[in-house]
Amino acid sequence: MKKLFVSQVRVDILKLFLLRPAVSYHVREITRQVGTEINAVRRELANLKGLGVLQSNAQKNRIYYQLRHDFPLLGEVLGLLVKEEGIGKALLGRNSSEVKFAFVSIPFLLGRTAGTEDIDILVVGRIPLKKISGVVKEEEKHRGNEINYAVLSEREFGELKKRRDPLIINALLQPKVVLTAGSENYLSL
């Protein structure tokens, strides 16, 4: 863990790649995005590649870097970022006391476009749909594709889970970043 988060430049580079996981970046583009010296960026790219977080490929005279989706700690690092910076923080925001259970699917965070049987974001609690839909619409604009989400009361969620609704069961079985503490009862099948 200590080797992963040792500098602000590394944190900024991780944010860049984790918030846009399907995008490849050239060194100079990364330098512009994170707003620091090219030598510091090169050093951190080499470190992140050595840790297995990034991969590189050469195209013509340029080297491009991309997030490795098979990095063993990807879900955990992604979870930290989503809760601190990304859509998770936006979803909970000031509404955290009203939200009893919430998650964002890892395939969604890695850029997958959801099918009709997928839930990218699930929120359970007493929260107005209007609050969540505003956050989701903003994220859809940022990502350029539609997000499948569900907002349910605790009663609705309990009934669907008890009936073993396929949409809810599939959502609970997929890899996810859980945004709320004390979610064990909601996760159990």
57 — phi, psi (to 5°)? Answer: -145, 145
Q: Phi, psi at residue 145, to the nearest 5°?
A: -150, 165
More confident residue, 117 or 160: 160
Whether the predicted pLDDT of 4 surpasses 70: no
Summarize pLDDT for 14-38 with one digit per residue, the tens: 989 988 888 899 999 999 999 999 9
- Rounded CA-CA distance 123/96 in Å is 11
Beta bridge partners of 123: 102, 151
CB 136 within 8 A of CB 149: yes
Q: What is the mean pLDDT of residues 165-180?
A: 91
Q: What is the pLDDT of residue 32?
A: 96
Q: Using one digit for the tens of pLDDT, what is the confidence trace for 116-139? A: 788 999 999 988 888 889 889 988
Query: Residue 127: what pLDDT?
Result: 85
Q: Following DSSP, what letter does each residue of 25-82 receive, concatenated?
A: EEHHHHHHHHTS-HHHHHHHHHHHHHHTSEEEEEETTEEEEEE-TT-TTHHHHHHHHH
Contact between 118 and 145 under an 8 Å Cβ cutoff? The reply is: no
